[in-house]
Structure formats: C-alpha cells, structure tokens
Amino acid sequence: MPELPEVEALVGFLRARALGRTVGRADPVAVNVLKTFDPPPSALIGRVLAATARHGKFLDLIFVNAAGEPLHLVIHLARAGWLRWKDAQPTAPARPGRGPLALRLVFTDGAGFDLTEAGTQKRLAVYVVADPATVPGIARLGVDPLADDFTPDRLDELLAAAGRAQIKGVLTDQSILAGVGNAYSDEALWAAKLSPFKPASSLTPDERERLHEAIRDVLGAAVTAADGLHAGDLKAEKKANLSVHARTGQPCPRCGDTVREVSFSDKSLQYCPTCQTGGRTLADRRMSRLLK
C-alpha cells in the first residue's frame, strides 16, 4: 500500500511533470472507482493542473478553469492501486475490461497517467470535488506526523487517549496519525525497539520519546529517498529500504536475529524478537485460530 512517503513523492513527481498542462480527456474505466458523481470527471476537461498536494495517504490534484476556480481530483490508491505516467497516452478512449486500468487522464499534449489496481479487492477511490474536506476519509484525518504540530507532547496526548489499544493499531489509525500504514509502522516500531502489541498508554517517557523520534526519522528518510524518483521506481525504492517489514525469515539488520511475522486475515506485521519483544515470539493470530 502506498503510504505517506510514496504519496508525497507522487505529489512532487506530478508537480514536476504535469503542472501547467491542460486536461484533454478524463476516462473512467472502472465505474466502482468513482465515489462522486457531481461534478463528473469530464468537468476536468479544459482545466489546467495548478497545484498538487497530499492529505495523509490521499493525493490531491488541483485543476483550475479560466476564472481560476479550483476543482480537485482526489485519489486514494488503497492497498493495490498505483499511478502510472506515460509521456504518450493512447489516442483511443480507454474501454472497460478485465485489466487493472481504473481511470485514464490525458493532457492535451498527449501525456498523462493511468490509475490502476491489481487484485480482486477493488478499493481504489477517486473523488471530483470542489473542496477536499468534503471527502470522508480526509475529513477524519488525524495529525500529519511530519507536520510541525506533531511534537513529543502531542504524541503523548494521542497515546494517553488511545488507552490500552495496541500501539501497532494506534499508529495505523488514520484518525490519529495521517499517512502511516502497515509498512512504516513496522519500521518505526523496530527503530524504537517496541513490541507492536504493547498498550499505547503503558509506554514509559523514554519509550514515547524513542517512538516520536523513530516515526519522524523513518518517514523523513523515506521521503528523502523517494524525492525526485519516477513514479515507476517508487515501489522498488520503498522495498529496498525496509528493515523488517516484508522481510520475514531474513536476519534483523541490527542484531542478526530472524525477523518474525504475525499474520491476520488479510495482512501481516513483521518484527524482531530480540530488538522488540525481549526474545519472545509473538503468537501468529491466523495459525492460533486454525489450531483451535
């Protein structure tokens, strides 16, 4: 799933590639991807891309008409969605089919991008709105972990309010922290040497300080590493720089212990027992259910 660093990189990529270009076509291919109907995607035609922005994991493309009135194309790539840029898009309109293509946007000079989604769970979401605050997912977003107001004191408040909730779930709750997902929460917890199942309100002052620093450092480093990359290279860059996430069975880069995994119904988390849980192996929730 694209998280804060990848979406931030897409913001910069489109700012560099597409700013000032005029929309020639907006072809929704998968009807389910559109979460708004008025105005329709065709309302973007003739508008110029004036700015790009990010709200948590949401990509916000701001198009203006001749009068300077904005219209926002808001995109949430969900778990398996992606944006694919092409310097020369096909001239024929995109047609619905069984492929991954969900929406195609073409500028008047022929360049543009496709929104695609792999797999059978179709969660990619596109909104055309006058105000991004009207998008439900944006309206509920919590603090941005790279914003100036995400201070150690603010994190303390968030953890206290979360009570006995497991810290892994707190970090990935978009109404608490905007933009952190499964991968970077694993990375931050590993960097802070914290168990993913530790209750949020039980963290000591030293652990809270380590966690705040880890969140900022992990996300900041990922944003820096992705800056300036082509959209097509972002997934590989993310994977190459992960320490524990998606590295089950490999040695921990800090202590050499084997990275372990806890599986759930549709996702998993990774951690190092030596670094994070005092050597204890956490129970695999999926296997536990099968053995009952």
pLDDT by residue (tens digit) across 255-290? 999 999 999 877 899 999 999 999 999 987 654 433
Mean of pLDDT values over 3-21: 97
d(CA 75, CA 82): 10
Q: What percent of the chain has pLDDT over 70?
A: 97
pLDDT at 286: 52
What pLDDT band is residue 21 in, cutting at 50, 70 and 90?
Answer: very high
Mean of pLDDT values over 197-217: 97
The DSSP H or E segment spanning 114 is strand 112-117
pTM of the model: 0.93
C-alpha 181 chain-centroid distance = 6
pLDDT at 95: 81
d(CA 128, CA 174): 21
Q: What is the DSSP string of 154-205?
A: HHHHHHHHHTTSBHHHHHH-TTTBSS--HHHHHHHHHHHT--TTSBGGG--H
Q: What is the pLDDT of the chain when averaged over all its residues?
A: 94
Cβ atoms of residues 97 and 15 within 8 Å: no
What pLDDT band is residue 28 in, cutting at 50, 70 and 90?
Answer: very high
Instruction: Report residue 120: phi and psi, to 5°.
Output: -100, -20
pLDDT in tens, 166-195: 999 999 999 999 999 999 999 999 999 999
Q: Which domains are assigned to the chain?
A: 4-139 (3.20.190.10), 152-291 (1.10.8.50)
Mean of pLDDT values over 5-11: 97
Angle at 248 between CA 242 and CA 249, to 5 degrees: 120
pLDDT in tens, 122-164: 899 999 999 999 999 999 999 999 999 999 999 999 999 999 9
Mean of pLDDT values over 61-87: 96
Among candidate residues 43, 35, 49, the one with its CA nearest the CA of residue 78 = 35
Asked if omega into 41 is within 30° of 0 (cis), the reply is no
